[in-house]
Amino acid sequence: MPRGRPLRGQNWGVQNVIERVLNLLIYLLESSRPVTADDVRYTVQGYDAQSDDAFHRMFERDKEVLRRLGVPIKQEALDVWEVDYGYTVDPEEYALVDLQLNQEERVALSIAAKMVRLGGSHLGLEALLKMGGVERGVGLEPVGADLGAGAEVLGSLFGALTERKEVTFAYKGSERRVRPYGIAHRRGHWYLAGGTDEGERVYRIDRIERLKVADKANSFKKPRAYDIKGAIDRHPWEAGSGDRIEAVVEFDPEVAWWAARTLGLSEPDDILQATIPVSNVDAFIGWVLSFGDQAEIVSPPEMREEVRRRVIGSMST
């Protein structure tokens, strides 16, 4: 049996962090009682010979690494004055739940994870590693989907909604407190749907700033009848709190088929005249203007006037 200290490469620093964090995790998993920072400092290899400050910075960083790995570290006060804290990792809480996937299911998920990007990387593959690796012999299919960026906020929101924790964040300049009911990807954006004191609301996740997740779990119940799919509108001009206005639009033959497809209508042979319910006038006018001069709002007259106003506004500057 080979034994003997392996040769060190150049990556001393990184190598040290990895060894230290592994030793720390083993210590936390094996301790039958909460351990203090001092216990760690004088017991776990890699922390000795540090000044007080350097040790505390190192320990904080390493705990953060463990959290990012999914390790649930519990922290509890060891005295009533909360001077000294003890840390534990419960082996049962640490361990991955076996999802009992069979071989075909693992292959199917491996293919899916290779197709889908979230936050610029294939996050599903990282999950599969923990679940026993990515299945072999799975080639890349020539099809992919990019679900956009911002994976960290999404992950935090997903964590909050699975644990039924309230969240607070800044949105369009004001603070919001929301009970997260669900998240949805539609039209290329991620949305959060949830309950507030003013009623049910939907938020664009990429506009959420300074997200904070409350500590208390199971702090609310999702209303049984709440329908997330119904809460998020299909078209941008259906979003908004304004009254619904019926607009009539005429599309020229060259673009009529495309407008019909967007609206879910059957494709016309010639021009298309469509009646469209609108809640968000601004988004709607923007969409019609994306057809250039090949589409015309026929009614209502106020919307025609708004288009004229914009044309004149843009040309006079």
Cis? peptide before 300, omega within 30° of 0: yes
In the region spanning residues 296 to 315, those forming contacts with another protein, defined by CB under 8 A, are 296-297, 304, 307-315
In the region spanning residues 133 to 192, those forming contacts with another protein, defined by CB under 8 A, are 133-136, 140-148, 151-152, 154-156, 158-159, 161-162, 164, 181-189
25: left (phi over 0), alpha (psi -120 to 50) or beta: alpha
Q: Which residues contact 17 (CB under 8 A, 6 or more apart)?
A: 62, 65
8/315 Cα distance (integer angstroms): 69
104/135 Cα distance (integer angstroms): 10
In the region spanning residues 33 to 52, those forming contacts with another protein, defined by CB under 8 A, are 43-45
Shortest Å, Cβ 80 to another protein: 29
Radius of gyration of the chain (CA): 28
Q: Does 263 bind another protein (CB under 8 A)?
A: no
In the region spanning residues 55 to 84, those forming contacts with another protein, defined by CB under 8 A, are 61, 64-65, 68-72
Binding residue (CB under 8 A) for another protein from 97, 174, 241, 270:
97
Q: Does 99 bind another protein (CB under 8 A)?
A: yes
Q: Does 5 bind another protein (CB under 8 A)?
A: yes
Give whichever of 245 and 306 is closer to another protein, judged by the CB atom: 306
Using DSSP, state whether 60 is helix, strand or coil. helix
Give whichever of 182 and 195 is closer to another protein, judged by the CB atom: 182
Direct distance between the N- and C-terminal alpha carbons of the chain, in angstroms, rounded to an integer: 81
Binding residue (CB under 8 A) for another protein from 23, 36, 50, 168:
23
Confirm if 217 and 263 have CB atoms less than 8 A apart. no
